[in-house]
Structures are given as structure tokens and as C-alpha cells.
A and B are shown apart, each in its own frame.
Chain A
Amino acid sequence: MASTKVVLPGDIIDTRREEDTTQQEPIVEDEATVIRLGPGLIQASEAVTAVTAGVLHSNSDTNRWWVAGNKRRYVAAVGEPVVGVVVARHGEGYRVDIGSAHDALLPLLAFEGATKRNKPNLAVGTVVYGRVVVANSVMDPEIECYNSNTGKSEGYGELSEGFMFKCSLGLARRLIDTKAPVLAALGSGVPFEVAVGVNGRVWVNAENVETTILVANAIRNSEYLDAKQCRQMVKELLEKQ
């Protein structure tokens, strides 16, 4: 469903379903009528109100409502992959800058195969790819570089070499999609590695510095380009190389 309704902070959202508005009898409060509010919406007294600007989305099956907008500042949420930079080492773990208001904690043992005797030694400035495991407004976020259920790294861990740059959170979310047009177009031209954090940080690595810069530039250029323009832009960049 392609919704195009744009809401602004303070706008009151009519969350009644179409069939509800035609019904006259009072709505019974059961599982089917409970609505779930996602990002950008709050309940203020009896009404649902938008608190951020963006496109209003809803899923009529699950009765979920949320607002999709673009931001540049990350607010940590559980389960999201993030790229961060180690800023300090403590006795029990590392402090990692993931772009949110507070640095995230990365425990020393939150790596694949790490034990008390054998744990990774990361220097300050190291770029890591991790997953947020603790995120709430009153605690500092916590990340881990492995899946604690399977004990496998699943692609998370230290990102050596390569180049990290920042982008908007909206672009980062689009890049996470394996079908992201800019990554697909680049991949058919040059081999490279990429790690996308939804905190608006992208790490890329290729066989030489020139290609790494080319890939980074192409991704940054794609912010306001659609699929067709992306392919054209990548083609031009590759030809210039």
C-alpha cells in the first residue's frame, strides 16, 4: 500500500478503519480493535497525535500505525545493525560511538568465540559492526558483535581497513535492502564489501583505495536519486575511473 499522506507534529490521526466509520454501534475493545502505534505517533488523551513529520503508514491487518520520516541523528533501537567506532576501553568492555546521544557499551565477551582468556583486543579508533541488544531512553545502549543465541558472528565484528562515512538514516535504511539500486549497480561493475548501519554509518572496502572512494561517493550521491538515476550515476562514475 503506497500511502502519501504527510503528517506534521500535532496532527490528529483518524485511526478508525473504513468499516468502523460506517458502523453506528459502539466499537467493542478486543484484540481486533486495539491499535499499535509505532515511531512518530503518541496517544494524547483520547486522540492519536503525530509528533514527527513524515508519511503516515498503516497496516490494516495488524492495525499498526507509524510515521516514516528522515532524520540524521540516530536513536538506538533493539535488534538494529549499527556501525560504530571504539572510543575507549574499560575493564569489562569497550565504549563505542554509534552516533546516538550516548556511547554504546560493547562487552569484551560479546564476540564470536571470546572467552575470559581469549578475547579480541581492539584499539581505540577501530570500526566495529554490531547489533543493538539494549536500547531504552534511561540506559546507555549496548551492542554485541555476535548472535548470543547461536554464538556465531553472522557478519558482525571488527571492520578492518576500508572506509567509514556518514549518511542520513533514511538512506541507510534503503541501503540495508539487498535490492538497493545503487549497491546492485555498483556490484555489477566492481567488487567491494559494504557494512550498513542503520545509525547512518556505512563502511566500504574494495581492492584498492580508488575503488573504495568511488563506491563511497556513489553511495553518498544516491541520497536523492531514484533507481534509474542511480544506475546512470554509477555508470558515469565507473566510466571515469
Chain B
Amino acid sequence: MSRPDRREASQLRALNCSLGQLNRADGSAQFSAGNTSVVSGVYGPVEAKVYEEKLDRAVVEVKFRPDIGAPTTKDKWMESAVRSTFEREILTHLHPRTLVQIVIQLREGDGSVDSAAINVTSLALVDAGIPLKCMITAATCAVLSDDTTVVDPTQEEIDAARSTHTFAFASGSPTESNARGPLYVDSRGEFTMDEYNHCYDLCALAAERVLAFMRTAIEGKVTKEAKISAA
């Protein structure tokens, strides 16, 4: 078996990220895996409109903008997926009657867009200094027609796949990253329980690798700023 881009089955595409590129947003990040690239801006905590404000917590609003055209039903689904993943991990009770707005802009979609959207949101929220219970990282797997499972599939692989699975995991558990179980699961297509479990394990490992990558990126930015303020 060989993949079109000659990757190993469990190999992620080249990851790239940067923080704080948007100067008008309170926090922002860019994340890309191969050709899939997303940008996110976070605004908050800002004043919520009277009809949407909650007296005991902050409201989390997610906007997903596709690379071409107006948002479709698929994009609305993505918004609700990201919101439900992050809503419970943001410490919303610390900022009642406010709004945390997350805007995700797809720059180029080449498969595994939902996991990239979750990863970029995680980074942007950290950059904005929004209090979070944990970091959240996600990864996607695809089961191909020849029963092989590949991590971080491209659009070409997804189109030919029997099923695709995205899992998001929380960091910060003392034993292992997936001790809490997944925070988000999205499975499409036909698959057996064994295939599902195999995808779960592969995605957990991949998400851990994404987390290590993010940690390096954030550490780099924080250390750079700390050095200047100490000087």
C-alpha cells in the first residue's frame, strides 16, 4: 500500500502554525497540515447582545467561513461541532454576560478540515488568553476501500474512502491524553467496530503529536515575550 503523497499510513502531513498574526483580533492563529490551511480569530470576552447574553456564563459563538462562496449547511455543521467541543472546556462561568466569538476562515481545504478547525481554534483561544480547562487537539482517519486505515487523509483519499473518523481529545490528564475519552467524535460511512477502535487509537496518537507540536509553538511565543519583559 502506498499513499499518493508517499506518506506512511500513520504519518501526519507537515504541520505549520503561527500565533497572533491578526492585529485587530484579541487572539489569532494559523494552522496548516499539508495543503489544508485554516486561520482563526478570537474576540473576547466582549459585550454580548442583550438577547443572547447568559447571566451565569459567557456565550461561545463560532463562525466558519469557507474558502469559496457563502457558508452552506456543511459549514453550519462545522460551527456547531467546534462550538460543542469548546463550550464545555472554556471556563465560561468566569466571564458571565459576555461573548467569546471564534471566527474560523478556511484558506484551503484538502481533507481533514474539521480536525484542522478544532486545532486552530485551540491555538487562537490560547493566544487570546481565554481561560481553558485543557488544550484540545483533533485528528482525522480514513478507512480506504482496501481496508487500510490512514491518518490525516487528503481530500483525494477521503473521496475514495469507505469511512472517515475525526476525534478530538483533551490534554492535561495526569496519565495519558485520552484518559478522559474523546470530546468530539464524527464518523461517516460504513465501518465495523474494529475499524472504529483502530481509528480511535490512531487518532489519539496523532492528536498527541499535534499537541506536542502546538506546545512547542506556544512555548516559543511565550518565551520570546517573557525574555523581552525580563530584559
- A residues sitting closer than 8 Å to B (CB atoms) are 2, 4, 6, 8-12, 40, 42, 44, 47, 49, 51-55, 68-73, 75, 101-103, 137-138, 170, 173-174, 224-227
Contacts and interface: CB of A to CB of B under 8 A. Distances in A.
B171 A8 contact: yes
A11 B214 CA distance: 14
Question: SS class of chain A's interface: helix, strand, loop or mixed?
Answer: loop
A224 B228 contact: yes
Interface string B217-228: 011001111111
B202 interface: no
A54 to B, nearest CB: 6
Given A101-B47, A137-B96, A227-B231, A52 B131 contact: yes
A2 to B, nearest CB: 6
Given A40-B131, A101-B97, 13 more contacts: A8-B214, A42-B91, A42-B131, A51-B131, A52-B129, A52-B132, A54-B226, A55-B223, A70-B222, A71-B27, A101-B98, A170-B225, A170-B229
B128 A71 contact: yes
A173 B225 CA distance: 12
Contacts of B25: 72
A72 B230 CA distance: 19
A8 B227 CA distance: 18
Contact of B174 (A6, A12, A40, A170): A12
B225 to A, nearest CB: 5
Interface of B: 25-27, 43-47, 91, 94-99, 126, 128-135, 170-172, 174, 214-215, 218-219, 222-231
Contacts of A101: 44-47, 95, 97-99
A73 B45 contact: yes
Contacts of B218: 6, 8, 53
A69 B226 CA distance: 8
Given A6-B219, A9-B172, A73 B226 contact: no
11 contacts: A6-B222, A6-B223, A40-B131, A42-B91, A51-B131, A68-B229, A70-B129, A70-B225, A71-B26, A101-B47, A170-B229
A224 B133 CA distance: 29
B46 A73 contact: yes
B222 A9 contact: no
Contacts of A225: 228
The 5 A-B pairs at the shortest CB distance, nearest first, are namely A10-B172, A10-B134, A71-B129, A9-B132, A51-B131
A53 B170 CA distance: 15
A10 B219 contact: no
Nearest to B46: A101
Nearest to B174: A12
A67 B26 CA distance: 18
Among B132, B135, B219, B228, the most chain A Cβ lie within 10 Å of the Cβ of B228
B128 A72 contact: yes
Contacts of A69: 129, 222
A9 B228 contact: no
Contacts of A53: 126, 129, 218, 222
Contacts of A70: 129, 222, 225
B126 A9 contact: yes
A10 B173 CA distance: 8
B171 A10 contact: yes
B222 A55 contact: yes
Nearest to B222: A6
Given A9-B135, A226-B231, A68 B26 contact: no
Contact of A75 (B45, B228, B229, B231): B45
**Max count, chain B CB within 10 A of own CB: residue among A75, A101, A102:** A101
